[in-house]
A and B are shown apart, each in its own frame.
Chain A
């Protein structure tokens, strides 16, 4: 009996919801392997998070007291390494998040653990773990194995697993943090830019534009189109990065989630994992794109293969 270890994440006093999804994946892994499931939380006052981690299937919650609550890659790596040495788990599950990107690979590379990232599937083959992730811009799936590795570290794609039910009875233990020399210092958090009159999370109807609009001078006509049809104007990352629309319009992992959206029209957006993270849950997605192979058509309810300018112009005639 080895073990499954999950390191959870929190930011500014809030447990990050994706950590609970990772625990959901871990509960499935526990059912497949019979191994014990340990959730570890580290921070200046890790005890504040233990209640939220009392979820069905979690056997143990380990608190690790560290100097600061703010994420530091050296600290997370050192604590993860010490826990792996102490528990020798067969599987370490982490969320595929910005913070984890900063320490998972160094942890695995230095420890020679099996390692892959952004997995959305996890399975068992005999007593070995297998992970499934996508390749070539989501055109294929890759099944990943870890021959000869006693411990496997896998980061999991947000939105791929369900959080476990509440009502666990995990044992609470504490673990002494190893000494760490931090080589970076957290200075400050910056809140998301003020959204002005744009409310992506609150909007029920969003018309979003992507790289397909081509040039900045084309933004205006889609603004008018969104107004005409009564939609909030959203955009994908390249449009915000170029400064063509304020960041408050951006839908996706590093932008906003279209939390209350019922209808989402994606125009000239190919559908990266990061964009989909902010809108794939929307019930009615309509994609307009010249590329019939664009990923966005795999999650859209309706698809139009066509020129967004032509469709946009024709659409205006109806409003």
Chain B
């Protein structure tokens, strides 16, 4: 019994970032990396299933598509208790869009043959909300998106997923397994890695593959296997609040007068 958890190293931007010369991305020097927020929840759900079904012997495998720097995020997952970590990369993957990434993950999934795949609903940097479900499509597996509650016993033939809808509503669906589920924030409370876990993770191996190793043909790798291309990135003109300056007391006084104005008291 195996659960594959796909993760992403996301980038946020340093202040005063600059665009790359070709105008198609931000200069990499200004990237600040982290593990995607959603992935903490996806991993936690896999860990809960592992711990809840000790007899079944659940193996939790985390995988990512990314350059060397992404090892750091895989180690965070190992530190939390993942059994194995896999990273796939080649320079051809530069410029891959979510579907280009999903093609590589699909090849890995065919090799690993997990019983269940968890992904985050979206990534906190570009928020496509596409990779996990594209993976489901490429594998032709049953799937459900935005799962905020899961009832599943490892090995069973179906899972009950509570999908979070707009406006505070939910829909419960029964999904055949193996399935790809994208998991939503709040589905559980992610654990923190223990110091001991962090120490051990530093020396654990990370398995690395190229897309070619996994049998992804060159004409499906990276930009060639993508369904979109970034033509240009630019900093939009955005609105800017009228800033209330001064000491906290002065700022609060102005805020108070705005409130009183609204309440018709001033």
| 8 A-B pairs with least C-beta separation | A106-B137, A303-B241, A192-B168, A314-B252, A241-B186, A318-B256, A183-B142, A300-B241
Are B231 and A143 in contact, CB atoms less than 8 angstroms apart?
yes
Q: C-beta contact mask, A273-298 vs B, less than 8 Å → 1, else 0?
A: 10000000000111110000100011
| B162, B189, B230 pick with most chain A CB within 10 angstroms | B230
Interface residue from A141, A149, A299 paired with B239 (Cβ < 8 Å): A299
Residues of A within 8 A of B (CB): 11, 70-71, 73-74, 77, 96-99, 101-110, 112-118, 130, 133-137, 139-147, 149, 183-193, 205, 229-230, 237-238, 240-242, 247-248, 250, 253-257, 262-263, 265, 273, 284-288, 293, 297-307, 310-311, 313-315, 317-319
Nearest-CB residue, chain B, relative to A139? B13
Are A319 and B256 in contact, CB atoms less than 8 angstroms apart?
yes
Q: How far is the CB of B232 from chain A (nearest CB, A)?
A: 5
B145-180 interface with A by 8 A CB criterion: 145-146, 160, 162-176, 179
Are A106 and B143 in contact, CB atoms less than 8 angstroms apart?
yes
Subset of 22 A-B contacts with CB under 8 Å: A73-B143, A98-B146, A98-B165, A105-B130, A106-B133, A106-B134, A135-B233, A136-B11, A141-B234, A142-B230, A144-B231, A149-B227, A183-B142, A185-B173, A241-B185, A241-B186, A250-B168, A298-B239, A298-B240, A310-B248, A311-B255, A314-B252
Are A137 and B164 in contact, CB atoms less than 8 angstroms apart?
no
Interface residue from B125, B231, B259 paired with A137 (Cβ < 8 Å): B125
Knowing A101-B121, A139-B13, say if A185 contacts B167 (CB, 8 Å): no
Nearest-CB residue, chain A, relative to B137? A106
Complex Cα distance A315/B254, Å? 9
Q: Which secondary structure dominates chain B's binding surface?
A: mixed
Q: Please indicate the chain B residues that have their CB under 8 angstroms from the CB of A273 in the complex.
A: 127
Q: How far is the CB of A91 from chain B (nearest CB, A)?
A: 14
Q: Interface extent on B, as a size class?
A: 35 or more
Contact of B108 with A by CB under 8 A: no
Are A190 and B231 in contact, CB atoms less than 8 angstroms apart?
no
Q: How far is the CB of A125 from chain B (nearest CB, A)?
A: 9
Complex Cα distance A306/B13, Å? 21
Interface residue from B171, B234, B252 paired with A317 (Cβ < 8 Å): B252
Q: Please indicate the chain A residues that have their CB under 8 angstroms from the CB of B198 in the complex.
A: none
Nearest-CB residue, chain A, relative to B15? A293
Are A136 and B12 in contact, CB atoms less than 8 angstroms apart?
yes
Are A190 and B170 in contact, CB atoms less than 8 angstroms apart?
yes
Are B165 and A11 in contact, CB atoms less than 8 angstroms apart?
yes
Are A105 and B137 in contact, CB atoms less than 8 angstroms apart?
yes
Q: Please indicate the chain B residues that have their CB under 8 angstroms from the CB of A108 in the complex.
A: 99, 134, 137, 227
